[in-house]
């Protein structure tokens, strides 16, 4: 009987160790890494995290949220040709085409007559489709 209990205990500990080491298949957080120069009391410097874009989960609908810092994700050409959005989901009347920066689908634009246009949160706005395409944005597929 003692052997059976010892065997179960060993299996339980082994499984818990495997689960703990696997980390549920998640990638480690980049901000948790400590640079080598910071060991043993050396000074550290911090860098700003890269902007994150959350995308919609339902297929066919693009309700991409705005990045926390669109300045770093937009090309210089796009910044030159476009204008900043007025609100979270609105563009100025002189620039009604919404440009959205996404990680999965790249830079896409939404014209005013597009499905779900009202829900799309633009990163930048353009005067027309041609200007959006010139800035490197394309129509959604």
Q: How far is it, in rounded angstroms, from Cα 108 to Cα 63?
A: 12
Residue 42 lies in a domain: no
Q: How many domains does the chain have?
A: 1
Reference 110, options 79, 58, 124, 76; nearest CA is 124
Instruction: Check: pTM over 0.85? Answer yes or no.
Output: no
Residue 58 lies in a domain: no
Residue 74 lies in a domain: yes
The alpha carbon dihedral of 92, 94, 95, 96 has a sign of positive
Residue 123 lies in a domain: yes
Q: Which domain, by its residues, includes 99?
A: 70-134
Contact present, 75 and 116 (Cβ < 8 Å): no
Residue 127 lies in a domain: yes
- Which tens digit of pLDDT belongs to each residue from 5-24? 677 878 888 877 776 776 65
Residue 21 lies in a domain: no
Q: How far is it, in rounded angstroms, from Cα 135 to Cα 129?
A: 10
**Residues of the chain predicted below pLDDT 70:** 4-5, 19, 22-72
């Amino acid at each position: 009987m003692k052997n059976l209990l010892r065997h179960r205990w060993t299996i339980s500990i082994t499984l818990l160790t495997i689960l703990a080491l696997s980390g549920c298949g998640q990638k480690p957080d980049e901000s948790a890494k400590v640079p080598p120069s910071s060991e043993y009391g050396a000074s550290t410097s911090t860098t700003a995290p890269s902007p994150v874009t959350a995308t919609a989960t339902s297929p066919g609908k693009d309700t991409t949220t705005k990045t926390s810092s669109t300045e770093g994700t937009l090309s210089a050409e796009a910044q030159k040709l476009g204008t900043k959005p007025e609100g979270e989901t609105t563009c100025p009347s002189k620039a009604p085409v919404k440009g959205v920066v996404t990680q999965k689908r790249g830079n896409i634009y939404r014209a005013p007559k597009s499905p779900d246009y009202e829900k799309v949160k633009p990163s930048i706005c353009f005067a027309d489709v041609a200007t959006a395409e010139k800035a490197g944005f394309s129509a959604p597929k």
